[in-house]
Amino acid sequence: MLDNKFYFRISLLLLLPMLLGGCGLAKLARIQGEGDLTVVEATLEGNIGTLENLSKIGNKNLIIKTARAYSSYAGFIEDKMEEAEIAGDYETADEMRARAIDHYKRSEGYAIKALAKSDETFKEIRTADMAVFEKALQKLKPKDVEPLFWAAYSIARGISLQKDDPMQVIDLARVELMMGRVLELEENFYFGSAHLFYAVYYGDRAPSIGGDPEKAKEHIAHVDEINDGKFLMSKLYLARYYAYPKQDVTLFKESLQEILDAPADIYPGEEAATSLAKSRAKRLLNQIDDLFDPEMEEE
């Protein structure tokens, strides 16, 4: 008699093509080309549970997709958190922050599960001896870039949302090593987003603790080269992590206005990223009075 668990796994494998062809998951597979962010958010929210169940098969690709879905949806929760903070609704902001942290933690867990298939060191990604951890990173191949990126990204976002917790911030050194390895293995992965990590890394810190807006700008320039200037998030990062720390209000406005003026189909097949950049650019422009001295704006 077949073991029940084994039978369940076979059943899922047989059903997999049918499930992936279903309305929701089929839309999830094409989500990058969806320009309506409400649809993108609803599709992610409605299909994370299904992906999570399918990932129980143990298929690495499905595990990675689940990690990415959790991180992507967490981004929408972060947007709600920021909107609540701007509105002064700190109770809602705290609630959204906790939800976003939880989703990034789940993303991290799935990404680690996928990475551990290549090296079990990653099961203890935050606690493994640093020398052992670095050695494990060097063993990774290009096929490991996707889970490596999502693990690093989810940890980094969690740290960003918990900056007051020194036990979280201490893991930033590991994230930096992970993103560095992503650049070594496949610089172009996911629009060159490892470069955007370094834009934040250098552009969101004071010079006294390693901040360097010029280095941030260099990494943003790499993203533009990779995407022929079509990935509008690079302009958003230029405004937030170069123009703002340099207090260059003219460049800040110009970069964000370029995003708003760009056609919705500037990057065919990546309309979701374009819409997200436009949405965040509009919000950032509305915060200009809080970010710059009014006299500087008049100049």
DSSP-assigned letters across all residues of 198-214: HHHHHHTS-GGGT--HH
Q: Give residue 297's pLDDT.
A: 52
Query: Mean pLDDT over residues 245-260, rounded?
Result: 96
DSSP letters for 214-258: HHHHHHHHHHHHHTTT--THHHHHHIIIIITTTT-HHHHHHHHHH
Q: Give residue 18's pLDDT.
A: 35
| Interatomic CA distance for residues 11 and 234, integer angstroms | 44
Query: Mean pLDDT over residues 266-274, rounded?
Result: 94
Residue pLDDT, tens place only, 132-161: 999 999 999 999 999 999 999 999 999 999
Query: Mean pLDDT over residues 251-276, rounded?
Result: 96
pLDDT at position 22 over 50? no
pLDDT at position 217 over 90? yes
pLDDT band for position 106 (cuts 50, 70, 90)? very high
Q: Give residue 295's pLDDT.
A: 61
First-to-last CA distance in the chain?
A: 80
pTM: 0.88
Instruction: Give 127: exposed, middle or buried? Use CB within 10 Å, 0-12, 13-18, 19+.
Output: exposed
Q: What is the mean pLDDT of the chain?
A: 89
| Interatomic CA distance for residues 254 and 222, integer angstroms | 19
What does the H/E/C string look like for 122-184?
Answer: HHHCCCCCHHHHHHHHHHCCHHHHHHHHHHHHHHHHHHHCCCCCHHHHCCHHHHHHHHHHHHH
Sequence-distant (≥ 6) Cβ neighbours of residue 107 within 8 angstroms: 67, 68, 69, 70, 71, 74, 150, 153, 154
| Interatomic CA distance for residues 16 and 206, integer angstroms | 49
Of the candidates 135, 129, 152, the one whose C-alpha atom is nearest the C-alpha of residue 68 is 152
Question: Lowest mean pLDDT: which of 49-53, 91-95, 217-221?
Answer: 49-53
Backbone phi, then psi, for 8, in 5-degree steps? -60, -40
| Interatomic CA distance for residues 162 and 237, integer angstroms | 21
Contacts 24+ apart (CB under 8 A), 216-223: 216/241, 216/242, 216/245, 217/242, 219/195, 220/195, 220/196, 222/187, 222/192, 222/195, 223/191, 223/192, 223/193, 223/195, 223/196, 223/199
In this structure, how many other beta carbons lie within 10 angstroms of the beta carbon of residue 141?
9
| Interatomic CA distance for residues 135 and 140, integer angstroms | 9
Q: Give residue 25's pLDDT.
A: 67
pLDDT at position 30 over 90? no
